[in-house]
Structure 1
Amino acid sequence: MKVRFRGVLQREALLFRGPAGWAEFSPFTEYDDGEAVPWLRAAIEAGWHGFPAPLRAAVPVNATVPAVAPGDVPAVLARYDGTQTVKVKVAERGQSVDEDVARVAAVRAVLPQAALRVDANGGWDVPTAVDALGRLSGYRLQYAEQPVMDIAGLRRVREQLRRAGIDVPVAADESVRKESDPLRVAREDAADLIVVKVQPLGGVRRALRIVAEAGLPAVVSSALDSSVGISAGVALAAALPDLPYACGLGTVSLMAGDVAARPLVPVGGQLRVGAVAADEELLERYAAAGDRRQWWLDRLGRTYARLAGET
């Protein structure tokens, strides 16, 4: 990675090639085998079944600003071509709300007309979230993603924001992809929109069903995938009947390396829809060491056994 993102400086992934194309299996290393099952289900869909027919040829994407110092914001934004939407990471462990406000202010100074959204990854408690979003609302936020971790807390944040007259919609991310019941957030009126990611939800088709059943606007985002994994996110965004928000699929721009000869990075604020192939030379360049490769193969075997037990 060019900068630390989600606490990660090096992203690991297992790639394989099926009859329908390249696929990515990249649950974060701290996830247990049970959490990794939907990620493998998504990879099997990509490699063996392919994706639904697209409804659009390109999808709009946002730039992503990690929890960097305000002075570093212009350099991060310069990595994105033609972006009109920016997601800013907030609530980073060890940082204050004052630092969050300064970072958002720096983004607004560089892009006065851009749509801004913030992502707390569940890092605040309810009082801090309400206070922080009240302060940040002056920067014209499009929405706040996962301000607190649990569904009940999301509902309380929404209610308190409304009572205070603070116009910041709430989006659910972890409360959708980490719940055994991803529709609970909609049933409990805990969010104005949902963020969906292909791998954690078990594939493009499963994600499409969840969006349809939730009945809420959806934003398609990445799980810090390589270009192979991002292509699955683009396929989901391209297949949604409605795509009211720019997608969080521009994260390859944050990587110092990739597996595709033509990395899937935004041009003019958009990503084109289409298959992505891994490049043999790049696969060799970024190949994991032998012991790490074996760790992933062992994990794949265990996860597949869990998946087979569920079907």
Structure 2
Amino acid sequence: MTEDAPLPPLAEILASARVVALPLATRFRGVDVREAVLFEGPEGWTEFSPFAEYDDREAATWLAAAIDFGWMPQPAPVRSEVRVNATVPAVDAASVPAVLARYDGCRTAKVKVAEQGQRLADDVARVRAVRAAMGPEGRLRLDANGAWNLDEAEHAVHALAEFDLEYVEQPCGTVEELAELRRRVTYMGVPIAADESVRKAADPLAVARAGAADLLVVKAQPLGGVRRALEIVAAAGLPAVVSSALDTSVGLSMGAALAAALPDLDYDCGLGTAALFAADVAAPGLRPVAGVLPVGRVAPDVALLREHEASVDRQDWWLQRLSRCHAVLAE
């Protein structure tokens, strides 16, 4: 931890820790239930929810973010609300209108593409359905999560560019591939955004130095907290979009704090993902209204924490994981 965010004792964290399991309305990122640990610090409630497949060292960065948000005052906001996008999972084209209906007033949609087991034709059909639902004035961006190789990505951008894309997020896995793809598609006017090449990289600034992206997608938990993410954006010198990591409303409030503190925010942010949940920990949840989220801390509802409490074995799994990550930070 940094000097201005000392590591609190593990017992202090565990004293208020609650593990929840929230059902999703639509399968997303391969899961139907999202699990998270919520706990309360001097500044308010916070969230620790690294994806299950991440090792302890990577997950420890998420814990650092949770501690920073719960124990330290956050940077002063420069806006009181944040415009957000709809997120469309890799559903069939016929399901697109129902997904978009969950997002009140969002003018932008991010569409997941390159899903394992699907074909480019499935992506084209899904994106076409989103464009039809959003109309010509809607903003449409894609997210491939690094699943295409260079040639597949170039072919896909050609196939999908007709839908007037705002940008394509992480079309390839490596910085080198992103740089080459950006060179190949510049003439088409389709910007390239980097996500995993920032949040999962040993050097989050490498993508900017390589000229491999037009903008960055930043997430508060994976980058170690609001202040750390702000430092990365400032050092990169690129426009930024703030996105969620499928957080509960408590975690989304951390993302909103990051978006609110950015000096410039030219893009709608991917913080409307509570709309993908069938249940949440707050009432009301932090869901978009007229396309925006308010900026401010969120406290969970005691009854909802009880209703959505994870099973005993999953509670044990998460609290042991949290303890191991705490030990990593203590090193």
Match of 2:179 in 1: 155
- Residue among 129, 135, 138 paired with 1:114: 138
SS in 2 for 1:15: strand
Matched to 2:240, the amino acid is A
Q: 2:266 aligned with 1:244, yes or no?
A: yes
Counterpart CA distance in 2 for 1:299 and 1:180 is 22
Match of 1:234 in 2: 256
> Sequence identity, in percent?
61
Match of 1:46 in 2: 69
Query: How is 1:1-311 mapped onto 2 (pairs within 5 angstroms)?
Result: 1-112=24-135, 113-162=137-186, 165-309=187-331
Contact 1:172/1:195 (8 A) holds in 2 = yes
Match of 2:17 in 1: none
Q: How many residues align?
A: 307
Query: Which runs of at least 4 in structure 1 moved beyond 3 Å after TM superposition?
Result: none
Structure 1 residues 125-167: Cα deviation after superposition (integer angstroms, max 9, x where no partner): 11111111111111100000000111111111101112xx321
Matched to 2:61, the amino acid is P
Structure 1 residues 155-199: Cα deviation after superposition (integer angstroms, max 9, x where no partner): 11101112xx32110000000000011000000111000000000
Choose between structure 1 and 2: higher strand proportion.
2
Structure 1 residues 193-217: Cα deviation after superposition (integer angstroms, max 9, x where no partner): 0000000000000000000000000
SS in 2 for 1:137: helix
SS in 2 for 1:13: strand
SS in 2 for 1:241: coil
What is the Cα-based RMSD across aligned positions, in Å?
0.6
Structure 1 residues 103-124: Cα deviation after superposition (integer angstroms, max 9, x where no partner): 0000011111100000000011
Matched to 2:328, the amino acid is R
CA positional deviation for 1:302: 0.5
Counterpart CA distance in 2 for 1:195 and 1:92 is 19
SS in 1 for 2:189: coil
Counterpart CA distance in 2 for 1:50 and 1:252 is 24
Match of 2:4 in 1: none
Matched to 2:189, the amino acid is D
CA positional deviation for 1:289: 1.2
CA positional deviation for 1:92: 0.3
Counterpart CA distance in 1 for 2:260 and 2:282 is 20
Contact 1:21/1:50 (8 A) holds in 2 = no
User: What is the TM-score of this pair, normalised by structure 1?
Assistant: 0.98
Unaligned runs of 5+ in 1: none
Matched to 1:101, the amino acid is V
SS in 2 for 1:4: strand
SS in 1 for 2:282: coil
CA positional deviation for 1:272: 0.5
